[in-house]
Structure 1
């Protein structure tokens, strides 16, 4: 998480300062650092096939373009545009179609106004009349697609054999409300818009919002969705791609274990201020659990070579914070 030392913006999209965290919620800061440090010591889940399928993950391009590395599957997790007009969307679609990836998948973000019939009404008439030509892009809106990716493997006899790898991808654009009626696919914060919506056999989940507490802004109130987090825990896909919170771009692994449960419970506890916070017995208990299970899991992984099935979570936002320019690293995952 990109902390600043002293300065903190009032914007919910910006990270708080370290000084502010120490004065307002020191134990939450401690549990955040402990959990992410111990999780970072574990090995990334092994690819499901050899050779693996390379998935290139992008999001939040906001009308702009950036060099994209090659791969088997390209996923755009929403906010293709800034104003959401028909012409802006078509320009980004044409750019994505010009890229060499064999398979391309896209969903909408809250800035992609035209794609939601409710927010489309806020556009001027000349920006909302017409049709989009998605061409080779699979546009997902509460729907899924099954891709067949050729997978060439060298045999022991020196001859290569080609098989087809199946990947099921589900995409959903809805986000907790964060703006006016011009923003697409919003629902009232606190409302359950995800439970039992994702098929159990999904390999890759694509949403625009983060799951609460993961590649989100957990040391503020968080912009992600707690119901999405529960749904990802239920389905446990190999990969979850999202965006929306630019400053949290990056990759982490959710292991769905006791350490993660304790971390999420700690993050959900109310902020009590410096003095009351330091005497929050429940928070201290969660810190102990995060540390105990975190160390145990690192030893199981690194010393005893135990294998666990986790979900790789990628916040694929390319927008550099709220600067209006791209610059974040393009993430890719081999699965």
Structure 2
């Protein structure tokens, strides 16, 4: 899930919302950022409580542009966005202290980390809280900046290039970024000079094409909620083009099961072919009006054993 913006699940009796307690079971819970409305301590506390209540043994969490107190350079340079000054150390401790570690919470801002679950499954995850500059919020970069792809030979000689480039296939199983790649569930009504323009990142799209993870989860663009399956172009394909196929879900079933379920394991009807396909998920819980009308996504997939 993503973009909960300080909201916890509705009461279990509220059958009008899929985002209600208890959240669906899972081995791993992923949150793709915008935990809060404006990074206040009580907002973070509400989200950490939600994670602690979930039975997943691992909860990987990244910040988003609204989580300004987790981007300390930004927070310190934008005092007019503070309101009441916040205790940055205490907020950081919520996600990294002993209680958080015991609950399986792992906060990542940008980089790569490998995990092994109790059942023996292992995976490597790339995370990035950063997205193209958007209304002067946190974790932003200029659209001309490429922070996801390896530097050119000249950039290497000059000591330039991104600090955490995304490696090529087959090194990453799962990608979690706050912002979407360009053209994939990233359409924003009235963004820039055009209606329904793409707000995603071109550089991130190039990187995910190289990386070809099993899953790329993101949020940020509330109206983009959904899932699509990319069949990457190959030499064997006559058309030579990538094919992006929407995942069709039943809204009634989503309400009943409190989530949108996808099975891309060998037990499902259409197993994901790693290296040939990627499942993209825009997991925003909030809709465009900041109402929590969207459902969490629950994905069944197979991972290698350690």
Instruction: Give the TM-score category using the shorter length.
Output: 0.5 to 0.7
SS at 1:230's partner residue? helix
Match of 1:99 in 2: 54
SS at 2:33's partner residue? coil
1:194–1:228 Cα contact (<8 Å) kept? yes
Match of 2:127 in 1: 171
Q: Scaled by the length of structure 2, what TM-score is found?
A: 0.67
Larger % of helix: which?
1
Residue 31 (structure 2) pairs with residue 76 (structure 1) = yes
1:118–1:184 Cα contact (<8 Å) kept? no
Q: How many residue pairs get matched? A: 223
Residue 155 (structure 2) pairs with residue 189 (structure 1) = no
Residue 107 of structure 2, aligned match among 127, 139, 143: 139
Moved more, 92-101 or 121-130: 121-130
| Structure of greater Rg | 1
Match of 2:5 in 1: 62
Match of 1:116 in 2: 71
Unaligned residue ranges in structure 1 (runs of 5+): 1-57, 152-163, 265-304
Tell me how large the CA RMSD over aligned residues is: 2.4
Match of 1:203 in 2: 173
Q: Deviations over 1:68-88 (max 9, x none)?
A: 211110000000000112332
* Structure 1 segment 131-280 matched on structure 2, within 5 A: 131=90, 132=92, 133-134=94-95, 135=100, 136-151=104-119, 164-180=120-136, 183-196=137-150, 197-200=165-168, 201-217=171-187, 220-257=196-233, 261=241
SS at 2:26's partner residue? coil
2:214–2:272 Cα contact (<8 Å) kept? no
1:223 is displaced (CA, Å) by 0.6
2:130–2:141 Cα contact (<8 Å) kept? yes
1:332 is displaced (CA, Å) by 1.4
Alpha-carbon distance in structure 1 between the residues aligned to 2:134 and 2:240:
27
Q: Which has the higher contact order (CA 8 A, sep 6+)?
A: 1
SS at 1:228's partner residue? helix
* Structure 1 segment 7-18 matched on structure 2, within 5 A: none
1:191 is displaced (CA, Å) by 2.2
Alpha-carbon distance in structure 1 between the residues aligned to 2:173 and 2:182:
20
Unaligned residue ranges in structure 2 (runs of 5+): 10-19, 151-164, 189-194, 245-270, 302-306
1:205–1:239 Cα contact (<8 Å) kept? yes
